[in-house]
């Protein structure tokens, strides 16, 4: 991009229906050729050969041969020796904030007497074994460890395992330890998902797999989840995205910085600015260009900005209509009295109110979770939380009187659905009650 003029503004109300639809369409995730079959082959080999396959794939993909996949408990306990006090303090601060927020998220147990003699309950239980996947890359993703490990720990899952590509950095191991994770395996990619999905001699089969990853990891999660008796998954994460709504009080420097912070995630990232203020849009274009020049990942950002959108609307309410249609992963409101507009938002993964709430804070330390629905799934799905590591179990208990009170209604409903055996399960009981205890039913 040789000039800020390459960024174009689009007048929403001059667009046709099909043009509006196109503006809010995410970039297509370009899968490598035959990725579905290649991932299926990896899953099959791990399922068949277990640990041997995992060692083989570590050698092929990560160019390393390990004596054992599991990091020893002693190594986990001793982790942190080479980490500075400054880093430790930052990690502890983030953990304390995230823990404080997530501790409020438990399902509530319910106990209710519907009518005399008919009692219903909802009780909560943690998932038994959960698997957390933390991607590798150029830097250790300790924030992902916190966002996955903290709610799993609060939910009191009986066994929490973590997989990440070798060699796992000490700071990641140390963060996992602080989050209550003491079972860590050095395996990454599709093969890690396969190991947690099927189980091997070293790695247990988990009930549910959590965590982001590249297209290979996402495809593996999809395939595992679709198999009979396959592990459940948190969500299928797509490319990162942000939509910013700005009024005339917004700072173009902040807007550009927030757009670029999401654009640097990858070439498929999607960033949108919606504003009724043409002046804000024009100043933001200049800031995008100027800030882009000093960013080390500008080669990635330039690709993602090709799919960026700067949309001019008639008013703020039109911006909210666009946002609710798009259902962004991240929604930033750089507007005056932003909290007053929450009532107008129905679809968003995570919302950032006002001029002083950068999405970066949510990624690391404000307290909310950064594992969020993408690709429009915010219309029906929520960001990760403690309840994703729990399950609700429903309980009911009827007394003799309670069953008798319901029996006539049950008879009508079962006859409508023509389920005679359902009716008999009730009438055998009611007949017994009437024959044996009709005059002395105490409930």
Catalytic residues: 329-330
* 363 marked ligand binding residue: yes
Using the CB atoms, write b or e for 119-147: b if 16+ within 10 Å.
beeeebebbebbbbbbbbeeebbbbbbbb
3-state secondary structure of 123: strand
* 97 marked ligand binding residue: no
Within 8 A by CB and 6+ apart from 270, the residues are 26, 27, 239, 240, 241, 242, 262, 304, 307, 308
What backbone torsions phi and psi does residue 194 show, to the nearest 5 degrees?
Answer: -65, -45
SS3 sequence of 299-331: HHHHHHHCCCEEEECCCHHHHHHHHHHHCCCEE
* 270 marked ligand binding residue: no
Question: DSSP secondary-structure letter at 236?
Answer: -
* 214 marked ligand binding residue: yes
* 105 marked ligand binding residue: no
Question: Token pair of 234, please?
Answer: 């948190």
* 240 marked ligand binding residue: yes
* 318 marked ligand binding residue: no
Question: Token pair of 156, please?
Answer: 């009191």
* 417 marked ligand binding residue: yes
Q: How many CB atoms lie within 10 A of CB 170?
A: 16
Residue pair 329/373 in contact (Cβ under 8 Å)? The answer is: yes
Residue pair 288/252 in contact (Cβ under 8 Å)? The answer is: no
Cα–Cα distance measured from residue 46 to residue 57, given in angstroms and rounded to the nearest whole number: 9
Residue pair 309/10 in contact (Cβ under 8 Å)? The answer is: yes
Element (DSSP H or E) covering residue 416: helix 400-416
* 191 marked ligand binding residue: yes
Strand order in the sheet with 184-186: 184-186, 159-164, 129-133, 208-210, 232-233
Residue numbering of the annotated binding site:
133, 191, 214, 240, 262, 265, 330, 363, 417, 422
Residue numbering of the annotated binding site for NAD(+):
133, 191, 214
Residue numbering of the annotated binding site for substrate:
240, 262, 265, 330, 363, 417, 422
């Amino acid at each position: 991009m040789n000039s800020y003029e390459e960024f174009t503004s689009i007048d929403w109300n001059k667009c046709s229906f099909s043009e509006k639809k196109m503006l809010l369409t995410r970039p297509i995730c370009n899968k490598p050729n035959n990725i579905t079959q290649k991932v299926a082959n990896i899953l099959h080999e791990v399922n068949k050969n277990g640990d041997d396959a995992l060692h083989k794939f570590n050698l092929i993909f990560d160019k390393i041969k390990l004596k054992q996949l599991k990091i020893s408990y002693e190594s986990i306990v001793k982790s942190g020796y080479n980490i500075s006090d400054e880093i430790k303090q930052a990690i502890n601060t983030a953990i304390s904030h995230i823990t404080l927020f997530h501790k409020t998220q438990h399902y509530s147990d319910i106990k209710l007497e519907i009518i005399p003699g008919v009692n219903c309950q909802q009780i909560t239980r943690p998932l038994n074994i959960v698997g957390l996947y933390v991607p590798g890359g150029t830097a250790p993703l300790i924030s992902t460890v916190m966002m996955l490990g903290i709610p799993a720990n609060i939910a009191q899952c009986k066994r929490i395992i973590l997989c990440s590509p070798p060699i796992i950095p000490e700071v990641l191991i140390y963060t996992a330890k602080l989050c209550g994770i003491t079972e860590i395996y050095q395996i990454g990619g599709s093969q890690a998902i396969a190991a947690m999905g099927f189980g091997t001699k070293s790695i247990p089969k988990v009930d549910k797999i959590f965590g982001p990853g590249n297209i290979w990891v996402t495809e593996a999660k999809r395939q595992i989840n679709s198999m009979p008796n396959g592990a459940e998954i948190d969500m299928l994460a797509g490319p990162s995205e942000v939509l910013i709504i700005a009024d005339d009080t917004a700072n173009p420097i902040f807007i550009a910085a927030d757009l670029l912070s999401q654009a640097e995630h990858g070439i498929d990232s999607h960033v949108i600015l919606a504003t009724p203020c043409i002046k804000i849009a024009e100043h933001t274009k200049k800031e995008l260009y100027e800030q882009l020049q000093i960013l080390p990942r500008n080669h990635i950002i330039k690709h993602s900005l090709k799919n960026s959108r700067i949309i001019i609307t008639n008013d703020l309410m039109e911006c909210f209509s666009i946002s609710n249609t798009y259902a962004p992963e991240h929604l930033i409101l750089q507007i005056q009295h932003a909290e007053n507009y929450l009532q107008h938002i129905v679809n968003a993964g995570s919302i950032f109110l006002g001029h002083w709430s950068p999405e970066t804070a949510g990624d690391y330390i404000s307290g909310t979770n950064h594992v969020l629905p993408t690709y429009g799934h915010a219309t029906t799905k929520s960001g990760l939380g403690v309840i994703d590591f729990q399950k609700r179990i429903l309980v009911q208990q009827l007394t003799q009187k309670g069953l008798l009170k319901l029996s006539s209604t049950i008879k009508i409903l079962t006859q409508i659905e023509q389920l005679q055996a359902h009716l008999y399960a009730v009438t055998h009981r009611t007949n017994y009650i009437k024959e044996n205890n009709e005059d002395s039913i105490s409930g």
